[in-house]
Amino acid sequence: MHASPFPYSLDNKRYHTLNYHLRTVYGGKLYKAVIDCGFTCPNIDGTKGTGGCIFCDGGSGYFTDGSLSPRAQLEKEYARISAKNGDVPVIVYFQANTNTYAPAEKLREMFTSVLDYPYVRGISVGTRADCLPDDVLDLLCELNERTALTVELGMQTVHESTLTLINRCCTHEEFLIGFGKLKSRGIRTCLHIIDGLPNESREMMLETARQTAMLAPDAVKLQMLHVIRGTRLAEMYTRGEVRLLTREEYIDAVVGQLELLPPETVIERITGDGDKRKLIAPEWSADKISVLGGIDKRLAELDTWQGRLYNANKAAEK
């Protein structure tokens, strides 16, 4: 196997690993404390849609208890994390549903309540690009001054036909507007992409990566489409209406996408990390080690790496 020619990795990977990012920026690993503020989503409460995106189960973590205050949840999460790992630094991840979908003052109370906890090094806020009004953006700018802030946006795909099919109720154009507002304010962004959405070909997935590369996000999270118990996707899957990617197809798509993405973009996730207890399919996705190993192996076999086609891609656009 060839040695990796890729600079942003400490362990011979051929993509910009989260491990590399955390070690170079923070000097070591950061753990993730997941918080559920009990927010809903405009795509669930009827403001923009009902029922949510077809794959959505709310996105809460394994251990969160949304009935507690964010601070109490953090203390509980930290007790769990430190029992295994000692007094380690954490990022507080506001993950469940849409975490900017509330009045700015309420958001301020929630977000700032965790900032002075001794082991907190930053916060990540998961949201939709169409839920960023000016007063919320002002708050995010303020938080960005006080801590290491990342805003995580569910982009999923650039294809409008797929966005309609998955019932996101937010166009790609709206996504681009929200993303631009964060970028122009210097707020770190992490874009979520899902591979294997219904009716998407490999070329469509590569096009999503090509257009993502043009945005030069700070980070991306890649994952395959998961069928989770209780979702509308699960009903479609049971009726035989959805074909999922095989492990090999997913690896092939991810390798092609990595080649197109800028080398500086951190790959914060490269396979799924959903709740296995709720996973219906694909079963192969539960074996993360095998998927990660398969991606490394394919990158080495092809002697390729993240960003290998990025410049050519940029030139083609001009």
Which is nearest to 262 in space by CA: 318, 305, 205?
A: 305
Count of residues touching ligand SF4 (by CB under 6 A): 12
Determine, following the binding rule CB under 6 A, whether residue 198 of this chain makes contact with ligand SF4: no
Instruction: Report 45-64 residues binding ligand SF4 (CB under 6 A).
Output: 52-53, 56, 59
Smallest separation (angstroms) from ligand SF4 to the CB of 36: 12
> Please, what is the minimum distance in Å from the beta carbon of residue 237 to ligand SF4?
17
Choosing from 4, 17, 43, 99, the residue that interacts with ligand SF4 (CB under 6 A) is 43
Closer of 39 and 250 to ligand SF4 (Cβ) = 39
| 223 makes contact with ligand SF4 (CB under 6 A) | no
Does position 44 interact with ligand SF4 (CB under 6 A)? The reply is yes
Which CB sits closer to ligand SF4, 9 or 171? Answer: 171
Q: Which is nearer to ligand SF4, 56 or 225 (CB)?
A: 56
By beta-carbon proximity to ligand SF4, the closer residue of 22 and 169 is 169
Q: Smaller CB distance to ligand SF4: residue 25 or 177?
A: 177
Which residue of 4, 17, 64, 97 would you call a contact of ligand SF4, by CB under 6 A?
97
Per rule CB under 6 A, is residue 41 in the interface with ligand SF4?
yes
| 153 in contact with ligand SF4 (CB under 6 A) | no
d(CA 60, CA 86): 24
Q: How far is the CB of 140 from ligand SF4 (least distance, A)?
A: 18
Smallest distance from the beta carbon of 47 to ligand SF4, in angstroms? Answer: 11
Q: For residues 117-146, which are near ligand SF4 according to CB under 6 A?
A: 128
Cβ closer to ligand SF4: 97 or 306? 97
Radius of gyration of the chain (CA): 19
The least CB distance from residue 56 to ligand SF4, in Å, is 3
Asked if residue 154 binds ligand SF4 (CB under 6 A), the reply is: yes
Q: Which is nearer to ligand SF4, 22 or 170 (CB)?
A: 170
CA distance 231 to 227: 8
Q: CA 291, CA 297: separation in Å to the nearest integer? A: 10
Residue 127 or 306 having the CB closest to ligand SF4? 127
How far is Cα 3 from Cα 167, in angstroms, rounded to an integer?
Answer: 43
Q: Does 307 bind ligand SF4 (CB under 6 A)?
A: no
Give the residues lining the site for ligand SF4 (CB under 6 A).
41, 43-44, 52-53, 56, 59, 97-98, 128, 154, 168
